[in-house]
Chain A
Amino acid sequence: MSTILIVIVGAVVVMVGLIAYAAGALTANRLGRLVLLGGLAILPLVVTGAGVAVGVHQSSQTEFCMSCHEMEPYGKSLFVDNPDSLAAVHYQKRLISRDSTCYACHTDYAMFGTAKAKLNGLRHVWVHYFRTIPERPKLYQPYPNYNCLHCHADARPYVEAESHREVRAELENGTRSCLSCHEIAHDLEGVKAQNFWQVESP
């Protein structure tokens, strides 16, 4: 997708360059004015919109998050052999897409969730370049239950679990956090101990 966009943006760049060069001549006739309208307003707007869409998609990819070294232990935590680690279980059981592993849990499924996630990402970049990176990064706000319930609310393992029945109302109205029982989001101790799960050869 990026390659096609690069080719299209490249073509529009050449065209706008030519328009800048011949702006005087183009204003003289009707066809020239149409070229100006298309080349200076419509096409750049379309290309920019497509670029933003591709950028939002690319910035939701696992490899994009992993391009910052601070995220390395969190990436490794996906491979930890610990059935209580939420990140590891979701990744290893393929409960979420492997292409957008981080984003699947760290976006907000409420209205404007994607925009909020991107703004949080902007804060990450700011801290990365201009602030002291904390030893253990923390979420900007407590993890909301509705993100878990977005997928689990009508899932059989959640609905039928005995432990959920008594507290289901509290979980759904957010007064009790899912993490109050499922405490280990990322097993960083397991990463330190290099306790990783590997597929056994047949």
Chain B
Amino acid sequence: MSHEKRIRIAALIVLAGLLVQLFSTLYWTPLTFVIFTALGVPLVLLGIVLYLSTVWKILKERKAL
């Protein structure tokens, strides 16, 4: 998979997580709070990890590390 595609996927995962967070924030209830923490937060973190790992790979390939 190309780096660009990985970054795009990372962005889409972050986007999905933020959308979940946004809809949970519109109305705080016990259920939306659970959805926020159990789905929204992990999705954003997953996207960030994927993005950073891609950056790491690019830097290694360019022997910048």
Q: Which residues of A pack against B, CB within 8 Å?
A: 2, 5-6, 9-10, 12-13, 16-17, 19-20, 23-24, 27, 36-37, 39-41, 44-45, 47-48, 51-52, 54-55, 58-59, 64, 67-68, 121-122, 124-125, 128-129
Contacts and interface: CB of A to CB of B under 8 A. Distances in A.
A52 B37 contact: yes
A84 B46 CA distance: 51
Q: Nearest 10 CB-CB pairs, A to B?
A: A20-B11, A23-B8, A58-B28, A40-B51, A16-B15, A9-B22, A24-B4, A23-B7, A13-B18, A125-B30
A52 B35 CA distance: 12
A27 B4 contact: yes
Interface residues of B, number: 34
Contact of B12 (A9, A20, A39, A59): A20
B42 to A, nearest CB: 10
Given A10-B22, A54-B25, A20 B15 contact: yes
Given A24-B4, A40-B10, A41-B48, A121 B18 contact: no
Contacts of B18: 9, 12-13, 16, 44, 47-48
A111 B26 CA distance: 31
Nearest to B22: A9
B14 A16 contact: yes
B37 A36 contact: no
Contact of A45 (B7, B19, B29, B44): B44
Interface string B1-44: 00110011011101101110110111011110110110011001
23 contacts: A6-B25, A10-B22, A13-B15, A13-B19, A16-B11, A20-B11, A23-B11, A27-B3, A27-B4, A40-B10, A41-B48, A41-B52, A44-B44, A44-B48, A51-B40, A52-B37, A55-B24, A55-B33, A64-B30, A67-B30, A121-B30, A125-B30, A129-B31
A23 B51 CA distance: 11
